[in-house]
Amino acid sequence: MTLTKLKIKKIENVLINSLRNKFLNYKPEPASMPFHTRLLGKDRLALYSFIHSLSTNFGTAIFEPVAITLAEDRFKKALKQQTAGQQISTEAHRVIQEIMNGLETATAQPNKVNELERLRKVCQKGKLNNVRMTKVDIWLESKTGELHLFDLKTAKPNAGGFREFKRTLLEWAAAVLLVNPNSKINTLIAIPYNPYEPEPYKRWTMRGMLDLERELKVGKEFWDFVGGKGAYEELLDCFERVGIELRPEIDNYFKKFNR
């Protein structure tokens, strides 16, 4: 067993509290769907609406706190919703734009090691620009000081958005290196599960923009990195147990929509 009984209990409490909080605060959007209602019933439509609403904030309400719980005793620091920095040098901005231009025109291939070294050389050169960056969803610092900064995305992110994802990863690195050019920094996209299982994740949509080996962790790869080998399977078991435990509450909650 990878996860201790105490950690399993903490994870299950996160799930239980998140669902119960959602029940207390959930207000279905008013919408008249007479054909759907008569065909499927009010309770099923309400359940569909609830699942859709839950899915939109699954990352912040469930995946982020679960990841932090998994990581907190494996890493020196495990934090969520952190700021990578507030400034980037003009030379670092120039290099970021050069990298993006090369990737967007397919005249260069993504290579995170090379990109980080280019940023490291210029991270403190030129003027400092104030920037408003995307928050780091999950910030992990290993016991040796190595940083792993994750941008947590949905299971099927829009392929067109990977340009901005890449820029965000580069900006995070530049901001951290500005403060400490010797930082061992990793900036990555995390996708919590593979919607194509048992087939491999369709990484081709990101090829040409992300260094797939160093900038992407999907499903089992991500959860086992955060919580240790075997964490993914044990985490699925936690979700299943909570679902069974709360099933009567869930059923009772949606019965009221048939009244």
Short-list 258, 239, 256, 243, CA closest to 8: 239
Q: Is the pLDDT of residue 233 over 80?
A: yes
pLDDT(211) > 70: yes
- pLDDT at 20 > cutoff 70: yes
The residue-averaged pLDDT of 128-151 equals 96
The predicted pLDDT at position 127 comes to: 96
Consecutive H or E run containing 162 = helix 162-179
Share above pLDDT 70 across residues of the chain, in percent, rounded to a whole number: 95
Average pLDDT of the chain, as a whole number = 90
What's the confidence (pLDDT) of residue 237?
96
Q: How confident is the model at residue 50 (pLDDT cuts 50, 70, 90)?
A: confident
Residue type, 104: E
User: Does residue 25 carry a pLDDT above 70?
Assistant: yes
Predicted confidence band of residue 28 (pLDDT cuts 50, 70, 90)? low
pLDDT cut 90: percent of the chain above it: 69
State the burial class of residue 239 (Cβ atoms within 10 Å of its Cβ: 0-12, 13-18, 19+): middle
Tokens 């980037």, located at residue: 88
Q: What is the pLDDT of residue 257?
A: 67
Query: What is 169-218 written as a DSSP string?
Result: HHHHHHHHHHH-TT--EEEEEEES--TTTTSPP-GGGTBTTB-TTTSEEE
Could you tell me the domains of the chain?
1-74+228-259 (no CATH), 75-227 (3.40.1560)
34 Cβ contact list (under 8 Å, min separation 6): none
Number of Cβ within a 10 Å radius of residue 196: 13
Does residue 76 have a pLDDT over 90?
Answer: yes
Per-range mean pLDDT, top range of 11-20, 23-32, 92-101, 197-206: 92-101
Q: CA-to-CA distance for 84 and 42, rounded, in angstroms?
A: 45
**Does residue 59 surpass a pLDDT of 60?**
yes
pLDDT confidence bin for 254, thresholds 50/70/90: confident
Task: Return the SS3 of 65.
Answer: helix
